[in-house]
Amino acid sequence: MKFHSTVLFVSNIKKSKEFYTKNLGFKIENDFGSNVMLNQGLSLWEIKPEHPISQRLKTNENSNRFELYFEAINIEEIYSKLEKAGTEFLHRIQEEPWGQRTFRFFDPDSHLVEVGEPLEVFVQNMNEKGLTAIEISQKSGIPAKTVNSILDLKKYKMNSTLIAPCGMNCALCLGFLRDKNKCSGCWGDNNNKPYHCTACSIKNCDLLQSTESKFCYDCPKYPCKRLKQLDKRYREKYKMSMIANLDYIKTEGIEKFIKTELDRWTCKDCGQTVCVHRGFCLKCQEKN
C-alpha cells in the first residue's frame, strides 16, 4: 500500500481549483471534473450528496473535510487485515460511480482513511468487464487519451511474444521497461536491442530453429552449457530461473505460465511490472 495524497472535500470544485492553482501555485496533474489531483500530494473532491461520506460525516459542515488516500491493488488483503484488527469502517469494499473499488475506515483518532485501486488497475478492470475506451472515459471522467494509453500498456505488458526461447520473460527486462530507447523483446525488431541480444548464441542456434515450439526445451541438447550458464547467473543475481520457466511452459503451457508471471511480477502498490534486473517497480520504486 502506498500513500497517494491528502484529499480535501470542497463545496465548489471550480472555485477551489482556481484558489489552489492561481493563489497558491499548485499545478493540475489530473482533472476528472469533480475530482482534481494537484501536485505535491494534494487532491480536491466535490462529493455528491448521495455518497456515503456526505451522508455519514456531514461534510457540508466545517468538520470532516478531508481524508488520507492510499492506493493498492491488493485491497481485499488489506481490508481483511484491518477487519481482523477490529477497525471501524465507514463502508466496506464498494465500486464507486467512476468504476474504482475503494473502502474507507477510521484511525484511532477518527481520521478518515481511504484505500482504492490505482487508476491503471480500475481502468483495466472495466475494460475486462466489456467496456470500451469511450465508455470507460464517460463513466470515470478520465480523458479518452489517458484511457487508451492505459489499455495499450496492458496490451503490451506481458504476452507470449515476450517470452524468449531461453525462458526469459522480456516483459521483466530493464530494456523493455525503460521509457527511452525501449527494446521490443527477443522476438521483436533489433531497434534499441543490445548487442548481446542480437548476437545471442541461443536465439541464433540452428538446433533451436529446427524445433517446432522454438523453445529450448525441445532441443536435443537441452539444457545446453550456454543455457546453464545463463540460468546460474540469473538464479544467483536476480532470483529467477530460465530453466524452471521452460520446464513450467513445457508441462503447463504458455498461457498458464504468463498468469503465474503476472501474479509474481506485478507491483502490489501500483499494478505495473517489477523489473527483474532492479528488483523493484520502476514506476513507484517498491520492491518485489
Q: pLDDT (tens digit, 9 = 90+) per residue, 152-200?
A: 766 557 777 789 999 999 999 999 998 888 888 888 777 788 888 889 9
pTM of the model: 0.58
Looking up cell 523493484 gives: 280
Q: What is the pLDDT of residues 90-114, one digit of tens each?
A: 999 999 999 999 999 998 878 899 9
Mean pLDDT of the chain: 88
Q: What is the pLDDT of residues 45-70, one digit of tens each?
A: 998 888 888 888 765 565 558 899 98
Cell numbers linked to 99: 468504476
The residue among 112, 122, 116 whose CA lies nearest residue 78 is 116
- Going along the chain from its start, the domains and CATH numbers come out as 2-117 (3.10.180.10), 158-281 (no CATH)
- The secondary structure of residue 197, as a DSSP letter, is H
Handedness of CA 100, 106, 112, 115 (dihedral sign): negative
CA 108 to chain centre: 30
Q: What is the pLDDT of residues 201-222, one digit of tens each?
A: 998 999 988 888 889 999 999 9
